[in-house]
Amino acid sequence: MKSFHKELWFEVPTRRAFINITPQVEKCLADSGIKEGLLLCNAMHITASVFINDDESGLHHDYDVWLEKLAPHEPVAQYRHNGYEDNADAHLKRQVMGREVVVAVTEGKLHFGTWEQIFYGEFDGRRRKRVLVKIIGE
């Protein structure tokens, strides 16, 4: 069995953003040489997510509005977590949007469903953060 891993780095200039990282993940898969197996992709920070959905700007706007209704950033004093930081909402948003995705690798490609793409969801940006890609197989 072959194994490959790589950390992808991001520094989002805004507090929140959704970034399509499918090209970077596909590059990892190509570099791994693995044709059949499983690919794990996870955020390595507790205020960021990795998830799969459609690359459609209206949907991303809808996510942002929905997440702000569920866990508004302001007022920051509403959260017990906020002491030295002001990112309690980012922890909650990350929980809803998820930590990781697993994608089957078939014939050297990510075996996506229709319109599926991999996204990095940032909820407390303006700092360097990592995403892990781990691939195992043959």
Residues of this chain that interact with Zn ion (CB under 5 A) are: 85, 87
> Which of 34, 123 has the CB closer to Zn ion?
123
Residue 109 vs 127, nearer CB to Zn ion: 127
Report phi then psi at 34, rounded to 5: -80, 130
- Closest distance of CB 120 from Zn ion, Å: 18
Determine phi and psi for 76, rounding to 5 degrees. -65, -25
Q: Name the residue whose CB lies closest to Zn ion.
A: 87
Tell me whether residue 60 or residue 129 sits nearer to Zn ion (CB atom).
129
Q: CB-based contacts of 108: which residues, under 8 Å, 6+ apart?
A: 29, 30, 34, 35
- CB-based contact 52:118 (threshold 8 Å): yes
CB 95 → Zn ion: shortest distance, Å?
A: 12
Q: Please choose, from the candidates 92, 68, 93, the residue with its C-alpha nearest in 3D space to the C-alpha of residue 80.
A: 92
Closest approach of Zn ion to the CB of residue 44, in Å: 15
